[in-house]
Amino acid sequence: MLPDPQAQIEVSPADVASWIQLPPQERPRLIDCREREELEICQIAGNEWFPLSTLAETLDGLTSDTERGIVVYCHHGMRSQRAAMFLRSRGVENSFSMAGGIEAWTDQIDPSLARY
């Protein structure tokens, strides 16, 4: 389901939209790495919240269940790329960033979400 991590670090919002339709135990974990005030504006259903600013301290929670893979998202995709690279550097090789972040998700998948 997830692409080859050696070939790419980003996945598309369309890919994520198809994966979140799967039962939770079969889909990649969806991690929102934005800060609390951003999370309160809008979020993708089914996400887990691990702010980028606390990633090093919360690493155990992210590395406990990695077999399904991890897709991280933020506002525009920059922080989530850093998060995915950080996770990969800690042994979670099947970590990816959602290209364009929740902004792209709102444009391409769910225009009903609030924008900021």
Residue 110 φ then ψ, to 5°? -135, 85
HSE of 116 in the Cβ direction (CA atoms, 13 Å)? Answer: 12
**Residues 103-111: what's their mean pLDDT?**
98
Instruction: Sheet with 70-73: list strands edge to edge.
Output: 10-11, 95-98, 70-73, 29-32, 48-49
The pairing of strands 70-73 and 48-49 is unpaired
Helix (H, G, I), strand (E, B) or coil at 34: coil
Domains of the chain listed by start with CATH number: 25-108 (3.40.250.10)
Q: State the average pLDDT over residues 77-88.
A: 97
* Position 13 confidence tier, pLDDT thresholds 50, 70, 90: very high
Task: Using pLDDT thresholds of 50, 70 and 90, give the confidence band for residue 82.
Answer: very high
pLDDT tens by residue, 30-58: 999 999 999 999 999 999 999 999 999 99
Task: Indicate whether 61 pLDDT > 90.
Answer: no
